[in-house]
Each structure stands twice: as C-alpha cells, then as structure tokens.
Structure 1
Amino acid sequence: MASHLHPKPQVRLDRALFKARSGESLLIIAYALSLYLLPLALFVWVANTASTLWTLVCLPLVVLAGYGLFLQAILGHEGFHFNLSANPMRSCYLGIATSSLLPGFCVTGYFVDHWQHHRYSNSAKDPDYQLFSRYHTLASRITLSRLIATLRYLQTTWRLAFGPLVNPSALPLSSAQVQWLARCNIACQVVWLSLYGLAIWLVDGLLLGFSLSLAVAFLLSAVNAYQEHAFDTGHLLPPARSRTSRLNTWLHAGSNFHLEHHFYPAVPCWRLPKVHRQLLEAGWYESRQYLLEKHFVRSFRYATGRHPYRTNTVNDTHP
C-alpha cells in the first residue's frame, strides 16, 4: 500500500459516527436540493419579472444553485461509500437518484475510479493522480480535467451496464449488482434529462438559470480535485487537504473535510466536522497546519499551476 508521511490518526472515534441513518440522509438530500432549487427558482422569477439590471444583481443566486447542483455529485459519492443507508444497495440507489441531477455525471463509473483512489491514494496507481496530474495550468484544469473525467465515468458506466459482467474495481458488490446499478444510473440520467427538457420548455428563463448553474457546478467540480490534493512542492507526502471555513462546510455539507474523509471514509460527510474537532482536540494537527486551508477564497488558489497534483509515494506496491 502507498505509504504516507501522515498515517491514520490513533484517535478513538465514537462508533455512532460510522452508522448510516436514513433520516439524517434524507435531511441532507433535502438540504442539497433546497440549495439548488430555491436560488434557481428565485433567479428565474427575477429574470422573468424584473429588469436586466436586477437580473445581473441576482447572479450570485446561480452561484448558490451551482453549489447545490455540485452537492448532488457529493451525495452520489456518499451513496457509493454506503453512507446514505445501512443497506448498501439502497445507499447506492439514493446516490444515483440524486447525482443524476447533474447531467452527464455517472456516479457508478466514477466510483470505479474512486474506490482505487482510496486504495492507492497519492500513488502512481491512483486513477485520480493519473488523470488530474496531466494538467498544469489553471485554464486546462478548469476546462479539460473535469470534461475528460466526466466522459471517462460515462464510458465506464455504459461498459458496466451493457458489457460483460465484471467488477473491475473490486467493489464490495457482486458483478450483477454493479451491472444493475450502472443500468439504473443511465436510466436516471435519461429521466432527469427528460424532466429538465420539459421544464425548460414550460418555464421561461429556466434555460438561462439552469445553464449558468450548471456552468458553476462544472467549474466547482473542476477545481475541487486540486483544492483537495494539490500541494506546494515543498510539502512531502500529503494525503489530502481539509478546507475548514464555516462557509465551505455549509456549501459542501461537510465534505470539505477531505483529509478526515480519507482517514474515515465510512463516516458520512456531514459528520466529518465533528471528526475534525476531535483530531484538533487530540493535537494531531499541531505540526500539520499545511494540511488545512482555513480561508474560503484562498482555497481556490490550489487550482493554479503553482500547486502540482503529484504522487508522493514511498511504496507503490499493495499487499
């Protein structure tokens, strides 16, 4: 296994933090949907009833809606970590249903890579390293990296759905279950795209609001990988970064504590702030401050070429 400078903290967490609760999951899903749909609806109403000036003034609403749309992808990620329900398949179904709101994003294909990302994190075998380390400028990172990744996940999902029965990522699911989830994923994409098309046809101004929100979500997802894993060259063997501002926590529903997620992937993202506080109280971060970004705006600087996405591996073999 890849060996990092920072092994898993020897901190005893409450076992209740690891238990998936459907009620909590539904509340988080409702929160993410509200963050997406309410600002979008308000922006569309302003665009249809007010002047162009007021429409421009209300553009921050589509930024909020973009964060809400990006949160749907985070929920898909949580679903395939089995954090949305104690029943693994039900958790995956919830993840598919929510993340399919993001057109083109197929979480089943994504998680084939993501499972290996956790297994070989920051090593040459890490699919995320192989993909995102190719891009060295801000322009390529915000345009090409996420586009190529999305197409890759879509192709993988299609292959899993209609190709031979395989389980290439060694997921703790059977090959038949993976195939069924991939088919459900494609069906959900078709359903949501159809509903979007119908809504855009019926509601004036929705095309503008949706297009802007989708563009924001695309940019957020593009920079997110670098915010989490791009470090200065002077930092040796970093596993991940946590962004700790309260605004990040509200907009990312706790998934901004990405280092904690790598240490404890079975803890739902909305409980990661509590895990972070326990690590702070235990003094684990005292000599590791560079693994934290405390400022919301400054976290976007890691998308620039000054912060490479690189492998920092002592050992690339896995037992």
Structure 2
Amino acid sequence: MDYLIRLCNISVVSAATIDLPQHRAEDMVPVPDLLPDVLPTERLTASGMPVPRLREELRRIPNVRNALNVASVWLQSVGLLTLACWVTVRLPLGAALVVWVATFLLMGRAFALFAILSHEAAHRLLFKRKQVNDLVGQWLLAYPAFVPFHAYRRGHFAHHKDEMGPNEPDLNLYLGYPITRASMRRKLTRDAIGISGWKNLKGLLLAFRSDQARPVAIRIVAVQVVLFAGLWLASGRWWLYPLFWLAPWMTVWRVINRLRSIAEHGGMTRSKDRRMTTHVVRQSWMARFWMVPFNTGWHLAHHVDMGVPFQRLPALHRVLVEEGWVTEELKYPSYRALWRALSSRPPAA
C-alpha cells in the first residue's frame, strides 16, 4: 500500500517543507483568496467554459488515436500476461516470483487504463460515431473491468451535473475529509486485502436477482468467462485469470481507485465554482503511469468542460491558468502532498 503511494510521486519531500494550498478548517475547500474572480475573459465564459470558437477546437475527437489507445490497453493487460508467461519459464524460481509480483501490481494498474478509457467512452468522446463509441466502450473496455457501462454513464453524468450535490453517486467516498492518518490507513488496508473488492464483486453477483440489472450482469460475467477461458487455453494455466486478473482488480486497483478519487474531490463542496468541487494537482510522469493515465489528472479542466477529449485537457488547463482563473497557489505540488493533507485531521483527544 505505501509502495503504491510512493510510486505516484517523484519527489519524496515532506509536505511540511513545502507550501500547500490553504483550505478551510472543516474541509478541503480552498480559501477565498485562492479563487480570483476573473470571469468572463477573452477565452472563458462566466462559468469557466471555453468560449464557442475555442470550445469547437478543443472538442475534436481523434478517432484513429483512440483506436490505438484501446489496442494499447489490451497490450498492457493481456499482452503483459503473455510476456510474463513467456519470460518466467526461462527464469529460476526466485526471479520468476519477482516477475509475477511485478505483473500483479501492473495488472492492478491495467484496470486504471480500462476504467479511464471506458470513462471517455461514457462521455461519448472515444469515437465520433455513437454506435462505435458505445460498442467499444462496453465490450472492450467497461465489461472486462467489471463496469456496467450504461449505469455508470447515468451515475457519472449525475456527478457532473451537480458535484457533491444530493444526487452525487460517490458522495460517501468524498465526504468527511480531512480524516486522521489512522482512518486513511484503515480504508487503504480494506482496499489492499480485498474487502472493498469483495463488496463490489458481491454487488455484481446480487445483480442477478434483479430483472432490470440481470442482463448487464450476464454480459459482464460472459466477458469474464471468455477472458478466463481464453487465458487458460492460450497459456495452459487455469490460475492465470483468478490470480492475475480478478485478484488485482479486487486489491491493487481498489487502492489506486480510492487514491485517485479522493485526490479529485475528497473534502470538497457543492458549488457552481468548480474550483471548490475539484482539486488541482501538479502532474508527474510516475503518477500518470500508475494512477491517472490518459490525462485524467487534469481533472478540473475535465469538470470545467466534460465535452473535451482527454488529449486536449492539458491545453484547456493551460488556458485556465493563462486566463488567471487557476493560480499556482491553488495547485498541490504532488499527489502525496494532497493525500497527506487529506489525512491531516488530528486524532480525537
């Protein structure tokens, strides 16, 4: 667990030695001094969205690049398992175990790739043609990662419509921060040992009892059966799917998903000013590799205009900075610094 947290940051400088954004004592919302009132500007509307001419440019969907991105996700998951199987038979036992441990961690990271690209498809930003977008989003991205695509889309759009509002689907995940270090440790431990993963898996199994949810549950399970059989037939190892697909999803991915989610909205509040709903974090290549692939770390830009494909979120973020709406003082210098702030509540006396 601590290893994964360290992987997401290049710098190991203590948060106490660097300046962090000031936030209100009761939550993680930035103080008013960090939220300059500059809107509208030449390139931003009164809500912070790009003006129409800029919006049109930023919203172009790159079909070919996204087809390659989908292929890369499978290469970094099934391709990774294929490589591990090929390499380990040529290694002594100790070296082979090291390779399999690395593969286990990387497979947890692979679910971040599936999740973020399926999120892109849920926004209809993966391919211009709706039918292609949804077909690929469901069968090649969401269902392999145990995600009920259309239900996720409905809940996620409710999230964007009113972040931290009464219909926020993930409100319980974001509320109550900052918490104590002990509480953070307990949450991440439950994720790391599979308790949170089992709750998610049990929810999928219980969906078979519902006439409405059963068709989607059948599709997800069908895809998982195909993966199980395919990996077994291709490798001759029946244990490849349960140990290196299902288990990383139930453990490593749950840690990554929580760390990413609270870094997006943990402790924020309901507001039309999205600087009060969404954190801003400086991006590092290590964090982008492990936790926030496909530019999802530029999350405030995504919430400012959810119609911008991930390839152009850094460009939109630059506009927000250049127009003076996002300042350097608003940014956390690293994810580790933000997680420390999120777990900075003193223990009860």
TM-score (norm 1): 0.72
Per the alignment, do residues 89 and 189 of structure 1 end up closer, same or farther by CA in structure 2, a change over 3 Å counting?
same
Contact conserved, 2:268 with 2:278, CA < 8 A, in 1? Answer: no
The corresponding residue for 1:218 is: 254
Q: How does 1:126-165 map to 2 (within 5 A)?
A: 126-130=168-172, 132-133=174-175, 137-138=183-184, 139-140=186-187, 142-143=190-191, 148=199, 162-163=211-212
Contact conserved, 1:261 with 1:267, CA < 8 A, in 2? Answer: yes
Q: How does 1:7-86 map to 2 (within 5 A)?
A: 8-9=47-48, 11-12=50-51, 13-58=54-99, 59-86=101-128
- Once residues 24 and 192 of structure 1 are traced to their aligned partners in structure 2, the CA distance between those partners, rounded to angstroms, is 25
- Once residues 152 and 8 of structure 1 are traced to their aligned partners in structure 2, the CA distance between those partners, rounded to angstroms, is 38
The corresponding residue for 1:197 is: 228
Contact conserved, 2:268 with 2:277, CA < 8 A, in 1? Answer: no
Establish whether residue 241 from structure 1 lines up as the match of residue 279 from structure 2.
Answer: yes
- Once residues 270 and 51 of structure 1 are traced to their aligned partners in structure 2, the CA distance between those partners, rounded to angstroms, is 42
SS in 2 for 1:49: coil
- Once residues 97 and 336 of structure 2 are traced to their aligned partners in structure 1, the CA distance between those partners, rounded to angstroms, is 22
TM-score (norm 2): 0.66
Per the alignment, do residues 111 and 148 of structure 1 end up closer, same or farther by CA in structure 2, a change over 3 Å counting?
farther
Deviations 1:81-130 (A, max 9, x none): 1111223343222211212111x322322222211111110223322114
What is the deviation of 1:213? 3.5
* Larger RCO, structures 1/2 (Cα 8 Å, 6+ apart): 2
What is the deviation of 1:26? 0.7
The corresponding residue for 1:113 is: 155
Establish whether residue 209 from structure 1 lines up as the match of residue 244 from structure 2.
Answer: yes
Identity %: 21
The one of 139, 144, 165 aligned to 1:123: 165
Per the alignment, do residues 223 and 249 of structure 1 end up closer, same or farther by CA in structure 2, a change over 3 Å counting?
closer
- Once residues 134 and 42 of structure 1 are traced to their aligned partners in structure 2, the CA distance between those partners, rounded to angstroms, is 43
What is the deviation of 1:150? 6.6
What is the deviation of 1:157? 9.9
What is the deviation of 1:131? 5.0
Deviations 1:243-292 (A, max 9, x none): 42233334511112111111111112232122222223333222652xx3
- Once residues 232 and 116 of structure 1 are traced to their aligned partners in structure 2, the CA distance between those partners, rounded to angstroms, is 17
The corresponding residue for 2:41 is: none
- Once residues 246 and 221 of structure 2 are traced to their aligned partners in structure 1, the CA distance between those partners, rounded to angstroms, is 18
What is the deviation of 1:23? 1.5
- Once residues 156 and 115 of structure 1 are traced to their aligned partners in structure 2, the CA distance between those partners, rounded to angstroms, is 22
Please say which structure displays the higher CA radius of gyration.
2
- Supply the AA of the counterpart residue of 1:42: L
The corresponding residue for 1:317 is: none
- Supply the AA of the counterpart residue of 1:192: V
- Once residues 270 and 67 of structure 1 are traced to their aligned partners in structure 2, the CA distance between those partners, rounded to angstroms, is 20
Structure 2, unpaired ranges of 5+: 1-29, 36-45
- Once residues 147 and 241 of structure 1 are traced to their aligned partners in structure 2, the CA distance between those partners, rounded to angstroms, is 29
